[in-house]
C-alpha cells in the first residue's frame, strides 16, 4: 500500500486593503499545481477586506498555519500600514525560514523586505514603487518575474499569473504549466499596447504618477522609514 504524499503547501499572506488580483491571479493557477494545497493566512479568520470593497475569507490564522513550501505575499493599498504590523512581519519571517520558495506579487515585495528577506537580492515590484526597493536592501531588476535563488518577486498585479506559471514550469515542467495556461485560456490580447511605462504614452504615465503613484510612493517611503 503506497503512502499518500504530503501536500505542497502554498501559503498566501493577507492583510486589509490587499489587491485581490495580486492574490487570486496566482492562487487560481497554483491551486491546480500537482500536489498543491492552498492556505489563505491572516491574523484571524474574519474576512480580510480588499481594496475594491469586498472581503476574502482566510482559511487559517497565522497561529495555526502549516509550514509553507511556497510562501506568497501579495501587495495592495494596505502594504504601507502593514509594514508596521509586527505580527504579520514576524509571521512572514518565520514562514520564510523553512519555505522552499519565498515569493511576492507587486508591492508585497516590501513586506518581504521589511522581514529582512531581500538584502542584496535582485527583485521587482510595481513600476510606481521600484525606486524604493533599495530601502529594503534590494537591487531592482526590470523584469516581470525575477528569480534570485529561492526568492521570486513579480511586478505589478497581473504579473502574478506569469509568476505562478513560471513556478509551475520550474517544479513540474513546461507541459504542466502550458496545460494550466490552456485550461484557464490565459492568452492575453489587451485592447491597447501600454501595460508598462516604456510602452505607454508619456502623458498617461505622468498623469498616473501625479494622480496616484507619487502620493502612494511617498506613503510607502514614510512607512519604510518609520
Beta-ladder partners of 154: 105, 145
Catalytic residue among 31, 65, 72, 106: 106
Q: Which of 118, 169, 155 is nearest to 25 (CA)?
A: 155
Q: Which of 8, 23, 13, 28 is nearest to 65 (CA)?
A: 13
Q: Distance of CA 25 to CAs 72, 79, 112, 184, 186, Å? A: 12, 18, 19, 11, 11
Counted residue by residue, the chain has a size of 226
Contact 217, 225 (CB under 8 A): no
The CA-based angle 53-59-62, given to 5 degrees, is 95
Helices (H), the chain: 20-30, 79-82, 86-98, 108-114, 159-172, 174-183, 202-208, 214-225
- Catalytic residue check, 31: no
Residues annotated as catalytic (active site), given as ranges:
106
Amino acid at each position: 500500500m503506497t503512502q499518500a504524499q504530503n501536500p505542497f503547501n502554498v501559503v498566501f499572506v493577507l492583510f486589509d486593503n490587499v489587491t485581490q488580483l495580486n492574490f487570486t491571479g496566482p492562487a487560481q493557477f497554483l491551486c491546480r499545481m500537482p500536489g498543491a494545497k492552498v492556505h489563505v493566512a491572516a491574523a484571524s479568520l474574519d474576512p480580510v477586506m480588499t481594496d475594491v470593497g469586498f472581503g476574502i475569507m482566510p482559511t487559517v490564522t497565522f497561529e495555526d498555519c502549516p509550514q509553507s513550501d511556497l510562501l506568497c505575499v501579495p501587495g495592495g493599498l494596505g502594504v504601507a500600514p502593514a509594514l508596521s504590523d509586527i505580527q504579520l512581519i514576524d509571521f512572514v519571517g518565520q514562514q520564510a525560514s523553512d519555505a522552499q520558495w519565498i515569493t511576492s506579487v507587486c508591492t508585497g515585495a516590501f513586506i518581504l523586505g521589511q522581514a529582512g528577506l531581500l538584502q542584496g537580492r535582485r527583485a521587482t515590484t510595481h513600476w510606481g514603487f521600484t525606486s524604493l526597493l533599495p530601502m529594503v536592501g534590494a537591487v531592482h531588476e526590470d523584469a516581470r518575474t525575477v528569480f534570485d535563488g529561492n526568492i521570486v518577486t513579480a511586478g505589478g498585479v497581473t504579473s502574478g499569473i506569469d509568476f505562478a506559471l513560471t513556478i509551475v514550469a520550474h517544479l513540474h515542467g513546461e507541459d504542466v504549466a502550458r496545460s494550466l495556461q490552456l485550461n484557464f485560456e490565459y492568452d492575453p490580447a489587451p485592447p491597447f499596447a501600454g501595460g508598462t511605462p516604456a510602452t505607454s504614452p508619456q502623458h498617461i504615465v505622468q498623469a498616473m504618477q501625479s494622480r496616484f503613484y507619487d502620493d502612494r510612493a511617498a506613503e510607502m517611503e514614510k512607512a519604510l522609514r518609520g
